[in-house]
Amino acid sequence: MKTPLTLAISGAAGQISYSLLFRLASGELLGPDQPVRLNLLEVTPALPHLEGVVMELQDCAYPLLDRVMLTDDAKSAFRDADYVFLVGAKPRGPGMERRDLLTANAEIFKHQGQVLGECGNPNVKVLVTGNPANTNAMIALRNAPGLTEQNFSAMSMLDHNRAVGMLAKKCGVPAFDIKNVIVWGNHSAGQYPDLHHARVRGQSALSVVDWDWFTNDFIGHVQNRGAEVIQARGRSSAASAANAALKLMQTWIAGTPDDDWISMAVASDGSYGISKGLMFSFPVQIRQGRYEIVQGLSISDFSRQHLQRSERELQEEYQAVKHLLS
C-alpha cells in the first residue's frame, strides 16, 4: 500500500464539501490504490455539525480512507498537505455590499495564505472555490511566501463545464465531443464564455450554432447559471461545484489531452494583454503537474471587449483589497 497523501478542505461542513468529501474518500481523485488522509477545517461553531459528516464517512468504511482530522486551526489542517481545497468563505449577508464581502473574505484568505506559506508542502496544489474565488486566490498567493503561482488556482472549471454542457445540449452531442471551449476572466457574471476556438466533432462551433444564439443566449446563460440554479432549486449549485473542483484537481495532477485544454484561473503573466498578477481564467494545458497558458490564439474585437470588461471587474476587486497584499 502506498504512503497516504493528505487532502485539506476548508469549509468542510458546507454543502459543496458534503458533495466532495465522499468522492475524495472513495479514491476518485487519486485512484484506487492511493490511501488518503482528510484534514477538515471549519470555524469553531460548525465543528459539531462536521462531526456528523465524519460519522457518515466512517460508516462508508472506505478502504482508502486512512484518517480524518477535524480542526478549527488552519496550521493543523494545512501542515504538509498535498492538495488543498479552500471551499470555505464568508457568504454575503443582508445589506452587505460586494466591497464589504471582499474585505471580510480577504482577511480569511490572507491568513490562510500565510499559513500555507509557513507550513505547507512546497509542491502543494491549492484550489480556491470560496467566492469571490479569483481575488481570494490572489490574496492567498500574495501572502504565501515560499509558494509560487504554480501552487494556486481559482475555480473556473464549473463555468467551463457549464459552457461545455450547454453547447453539447444545443448541438445534440455528448459532452466528450466538445473541445477547446474557453471561459475567460472572473468567476462571476462578468466572465466571458468563448466559442471562437471551440469545436463540435471537429467542426468549428460557430459554424454549427448561429451567432445570435451565441451572443444573446449562450453567453448570458453561462454567466448567470448559478443564479438560475438557485431560482430553480432554492439552493446554490453545490454538487456541480464539487464535481468541478474534483475534476480540476484531477486534471491538474494528470494533465490535459493533447487536443484540448481547460479553463483555469491562474495568475496572469501578461498574456492576451491582461494585467500581470490578476487571477484570471485562461485556456491552459497541463503537463507533469504544471500549467501553461495557451498562447497565440486570435482574439476578435468582440472577444477583446469582453476580456477587458472582466479584467476591469477584477481590477476593481484588487483595489478593494490591495492593502492586504504582501
Cell numbers 494545458 correspond to what residue?
A: 285
Q: At 136, is the secondary structure helix, strand, or coil?
A: helix
Q: At 10, is the secondary structure helix, strand, or coil?
A: strand
Catalytic residue at 187? yes
Q: Which of 111, 160, 187, 197 is catalytic?
A: 187
Residue whose C-alpha is closest to residue 292's, from 259, 256, 254: 256
Task: Please tell me the distance from the alpha carbon of residue 292 to that of residue 41, in angstroms, as a whole number.
Answer: 31
CB atoms within 10 A of CB 175: 11
Q: At 118, is the secondary structure helix, strand, or coil?
A: helix
Cis bond leading into 122, ω under 30°? no
Q: Where are the alpha helices (DSSP H) in the chain?
A: 15-26, 47-60, 74-78, 98-119, 133-142, 157-171, 205-208, 211-213, 219-223, 225-233, 238-254, 301-321
Whether residue 179 contacts residue 283, with contact meaning beta carbons closer than 8 Å, is answered with no
The residues annotated as belonging to the active site are 187
